[in-house]
A and B are shown apart, each in its own frame.
Chain A
Amino acid sequence: MRKTLHLVFLACAVHSVTALEWPVAEPVPSSFFGQRAFGIIERGIVMDKVDTIRSSDNGSLMLTLKKNKNMSGFPGTLGNAAIIAHDEGLITIYGNLDSVDRISELLTLESGTILGTAGTSGWGKPASCIFQVLDGEKHTVLNPLLLLPQLSDTHGPAIKDVIVIASNEQIYALGTTKSVKQGKYKLYADIPDTVNASSNSLSPFRITIEVNGSEYSSIPFELLKETNGELYLSEINFTWKNLYRDPVRIYLGELSLTRGRADISIIARDTAGNEHSVLFGLQID
């Protein structure tokens, strides 16, 4: 619990020191940081139905990327993109712009400077904006929601289709299963979050697993790090291959269940503080 509080405090501290502005006027997120996204862990926030894209803070233009054509360059999936450096090593990235001609001569940008309109140059839907935030000094990718104004969000995450898989690949649905044999079990659940009734299915901000009241494991959707050319979410075993090995559910970790009673809680929270938890009681034989 102390670790959880520390991370929340850290998130709040970062939020107050280096807050960014939303790069679009009315954000309609289709994908949040850390969620399953077409073969990768989502690096930032993807917003749909975007018109104008603006700089989210004062900064300096580091580099523009251009959609390649006529046999030159390589097809970067950000398409036309702007990479802007801010104070304290923070870097913001704006992909899928219609053009970067507007900003190619601008070296200093103020918060709110128009970078362009959303186009079709990057991988994804037309008129979407790919927004990412990097810590250029620590070489990590940050969850932009830590630094952006809070979205209006009254919907907590849902927790569905919870299963455990035994080492012999036997699947047990929690909620209907009352007892299992002692041993190691991989825990999976589908945990979508929404910000309103019509929003897309998004990732939560933190998932915590408790067994018999004690924190067993936690998945914080706060930052991505790299080891040996592979990104992971906060802890080294939370890579794409591990987290999203199931086509629908997220992998929540391995439980080691010993004889007796096991109360397994899954607690999911979003950045607005909306929380949802479920409790499963199991008899371990």
Chain B
Amino acid sequence: MNIKGNLKYVIIGSILFLLIYMFIAAIPMGSDIYFEPAWTVDITKPVTTDPAKFKDTSLEGFSLGNRFGYFTADGTILSSTETDERVTVSPDAWARYPENADTTDIFNPDGSKRMTIAASGFTHLDDGRTYLFLPGGDAVSQYDDTGKKLWTREHTAPITAFNSSPRGTIIGYADGQVTAMKSDGSVLFSFYPEGSDYQVIMGVALSEDGTLAACVCGIDKQRFLLIRITNGQYKVVFHTWLEGNLHRQAFVDFEKSGAYAFFEYSHGIGIVDCVKRSANLIPSEGEVVNMGEYPGNNLFLALVKNGTSYTLEAIERPNHLLATTRFTAENAFLIQRKEAVFLGMDDRISRINIRGIK
């Protein structure tokens, strides 16, 4: 056997094998995702207001500690006002009122008066929808753009959960009832999920198109429910029991398309695939302040509060924690509009870019 003669073939063969192996058997490395501030602005600095800027389509309202105002996606603060009163802000309107508000004026972002809510309670502006939570804790009214009351709903237990979408309003109560209503106040459904030792609703959400509802409910055998609403009928299409008991209000929301639902439970965050009807749980410590979705990449962001420590988490579906960043603040918020992520921290607001997404 001519070893020397065959050696070159062995070497060439080995190299070829290695090259082929490198391409065939290669495992793609995970994305190195990281957060990069695009801009940071100080909201305590004096603002020179340009009224024309309030027509900016990227206008965002903010409420952070005892300040509220408006900014644009390019980092211009249009207004920033300090107040000791309660504040409600949405991109199209704002209001402030005292603890015993008997009547509340609502203003456009530029400060011009829009309407008056002529009744006692706490006003809540939610993306173009106006609500008044009445004294007593168990009643809420919705108003139109002129300050005219559309409907009032009372119940024999305090409101413990609330959410709205362009298609309606959903309310959870301390006695375990969940009620969803259309914009005109007519009831989409109302029922008691039951199944737990104590009936109480921690969190609710209604999808943008009004076809799905979700809730976290019960104590001692706490669970998440996904409810499909079609033609005036409702059906629980998915539920999952949750480990432990959350004894406070829980964050529940839908991703804009309704493909996913997010919820908070005692050990972390749940992400529900509403199409496949499955839930994935991600351990996390603290209270979820807000969540948002990054378009097209199955990437979700969550702002989680634990005392004065906040964590911004990037989560890849189904349950991979890709990146986190921690900061300390007394007050913080997260607003996500598609790729635009805005993070408020005490006296400043930052736009965060997510880098490393492939």
User: Using a CB–CB distance below 8 Å, which chain A residues touch chain B?
Assistant: 37-40, 42-43, 60-66, 69-78, 81, 83, 85, 91, 93, 95, 100, 104, 107, 120, 122-126, 130, 132, 134, 136, 139-141, 224-226, 229-231
Contacts and interface: CB of A to CB of B under 8 A. Distances in A.
Going nearest first, the 3 A-B pairs with the smallest beta carbon separation are A75-B122, A38-B120, A78-B137
A91 B176 CA distance: 12
Query: Residue among A85, A95, A100, A229 with the most chain B CB within 10 A?
Result: A229
Contact of A70 (B131, B134, B162, B344): B344
Given A39-B135, A42-B136, A226 B154 contact: yes
Contacts of B158: 65, 76, 78, 81, 83, 93, 95, 132
Interface stretch (B24-32, B207-215, B268-276, B328-336): B328-336
Interface in B246-265: 247-249, 251
B221 interface: no
B137 A93 contact: yes
A123 B156 contact: no
B138 to A, nearest CB: 7
Nearest to B87: A69
Contacts of A123: 99-101, 120-122, 133, 135
A259 B134 CA distance: 45
A62 B200 contact: yes
B199 interface: yes
Given A40-B154, A62-B198, 9 more contacts: A38-B102, A39-B134, A64-B248, A71-B290, A72-B289, A75-B86, A77-B121, A120-B99, A134-B174
B152 interface: yes
B63 interface: yes
Given A63-B249, A81-B137, A139 B289 contact: no
B162 A77 contact: no
A146 B89 CA distance: 42
A224 B155 CA distance: 9
B155 to A, nearest CB: 6
A122 B86 CA distance: 11
B202 interface: yes
A76 B154 contact: no
A95 B99 CA distance: 13
A65 B187 contact: no
A42 B120 CA distance: 13
B154 A231 contact: yes
Nearest to A241: B152
Contacts of A134: 156-157, 174-175
A78 B157 CA distance: 12
A230 to B, nearest CB: 6
Instruction: Tell me what chain B mostly uses at the interface: helix, strand, loop, or mixed.
Output: strand
B133 A75 contact: yes
14 contacts: A40-B154, A63-B174, A64-B247, A69-B65, A70-B331, A71-B63, A74-B133, A76-B158, A91-B157, A93-B137, A95-B137, A123-B100, A125-B100, A229-B154
B333 A140 contact: no
Contacts of B202: 63
A61 B158 CA distance: 15
Interface residues of B, number: 59
Contacts of A60: 198
B337 to A, nearest CB: 13
B299 interface: no
Given A62-B198, A123-B135, A141 B120 contact: no
Contact of B156 (A70, A72, A75, A226): A226
Contact of B174 (A72, A83, A107, A120): A83
Contacts of A100: 248
Nearest to A72: B289
Nearest to A230: B154
Given A77-B137, A78-B158, A123-B135, A65 B124 contact: no
Contacts of B160: 63, 65, 76, 83
B198 A85 contact: yes
B174 A71 contact: no
B249 A65 contact: yes
Contacts of B332: 70
Interface string B64-102: 110000000000000000000010110000000001111
A40 B344 contact: no
Contacts of A140: 156
B219 interface: yes
Contact of B200 (A40, A63, A107, A132): A63
A62 B61 CA distance: 34
Nearest to A240: B154
A122 B249 contact: no
B174 A93 contact: yes
B100 A77 contact: no
Given A75-B124, A124-B99, A104 B247 contact: yes
